[in-house]
Amino acid sequence: MRTSHPLCTLALAALLPCAAPALADTFDFPAGFHTQEIVTNGTTLHVRIGGTGPAVVLIHGYGDTGDMWAPLAAELMRDHTVVAPDLRGMGLSARAEDGYTKKNQAEDIAGVLDALKIERADVVGHDIGNMVAFAFASSHQQRTTRLVMMDAPVPGIGPWDEILKNPLLWHFRFGGPDMERLVAGRERIYLDRFWNEFSAKPEHFPESSRRHYAALYSKPGRMHAGFRQFAAFDQDAIDNRASSALGRLQMPVLAIGGDHSFGSTMAFVMRFAADDVHQVAIADSGHWLMEEQPRATVAAIRTFFDAASCKRE
């Protein structure tokens, strides 16, 4: 049995109360980051890159873009090469009509890593991003060092069919040309529903963030991309069940849930598909972990990465 190095244990204990860096009211990544448009898997992704050391990929979800990761990137860039893309068709990535299965988007991510000559990476995902992260880890186990799954179900895994019955999740089936016309020009109203209903306290999702993301989602093709992410869930469930039947995930997994949202259910879901699952519930947070409780969320991820590194020594 592996045991932690005592210095690592002390470092972790010191980290817990004060791990997160100072968090600025900006979506600018720290100095040393640059952006790159990377052609991959039939599309082009907008990617933020910075830091030095082993790679970590940060994958955003719906209602956000890769900008959500600025506080975590500021912490991890000290000893990681941080790669934070905008998903296919979203944020500042190229418009895309199709290709929104999470299995296909995992290949988008693989192509980004290939372009950057990165062989292995830690992978962190939130919301839709954690579905893409799961698909990447399933298809590329040897390239995935550690996996962080944040506050969203995984299509086809664990109690997926029961989760679909929750009336709060009506948006999973909301999409198509008529729905896009209904939302056009009203993107802020539509997105406010997510930010309000899925947060512990709506005021903890800042107004500056709401304006920022509403402007990005109002750009041509962005709401289409968002709706297509949800429309792919049925195929995602088929793909995930097929991949899980071939074998369980072997890398360490951290399952994070907001205590007013998915909470410990994130770990419950992941234990249907992975052998080494660790869990954290972030206090006083709903779904929007990086907006509602950024310091606690950054600290949890840093602690997990440092603990896994200690065990390897």
Q: Which amino acid does the sequence have at 290? A: M
For residues 241-255, average pLDDT = 97
Summarize the chain as % helix, strand, coil (round to 5). 45, 15, 35
3-class DSSP state of 152: coil
Q: What is the DSSP string of 27-78?
A: -PPPTT-EEEEEEETTEEEEEEEEE-SSEEEEE--TT--GGGGHHHHHHHTT
Domain boundaries of the chain, sorted by first residue: 6-312
Half-sphere exposure of 52 (CA within 13 A, CB side): 2
Q: Which amino acid does the sequence have at 217? A: Y
For residues 140-146, average pLDDT = 98
pLDDT band at 21 (very low <50, low <70, confident <90, very high): very low
In this predicted structure, what is the pLDDT of residue 311?
Answer: 64
For residues 18-38, average pLDDT = 71
Minimum mean pLDDT range among 16-20, 105-109, 190-194, 291-295 = 16-20
Q: Outline where DSSP puts E strands in the chain.
A: 34-40, 43-51, 55-59, 81-85, 121-126, 144-150, 253-258, 277-282
| Residue 103, Cβ density class (10 Å: 0-12 exposed, 13-18 middle, ≥19 buried) | buried
Angle at which helix 102-115 crosses helix 233-245, to 10 degrees, equals: 70
Give yes or no for residue 183 having a pLDDT over 70.
yes
In this predicted structure, what is the pLDDT of residue 287?
Answer: 97
Give yes or no for residue 232 having a pLDDT over 70.
yes
> With contact defined as beta carbons under 8 Å apart, do 111 and 42 qualify?
no
In this predicted structure, what is the pLDDT of residue 83?
Answer: 98
Please state the φ and ψ torsions of residue 9, each to the nearest 5 degrees.
-60, -45
For residues 40-61, average pLDDT = 98
Which residues, other chains included, contact 13 with Cβ-Cβ below 8 Å and sequence gap of 6+? none
Render pLDDT for 219-231 as a digit per residue (tens, 0 to 9).
999 999 999 999 9
| Residue 59, Cβ density class (10 Å: 0-12 exposed, 13-18 middle, ≥19 buried) | buried
- Count CB atoms within 10 A of the CB of residue 93: 25
Helices and strands, counts by H and E, the chain: 13, 8
Which residues, other chains included, contact 312 with Cβ-Cβ below 8 Å and sequence gap of 6+? none
Q: Return mean pLDDT, the chain.
A: 90
> CATH homologous superfamily of domain 6-312?
Alpha/Beta hydrolase fold, catalytic domain (3.40.50.1820)
For residues 31-41, average pLDDT = 97
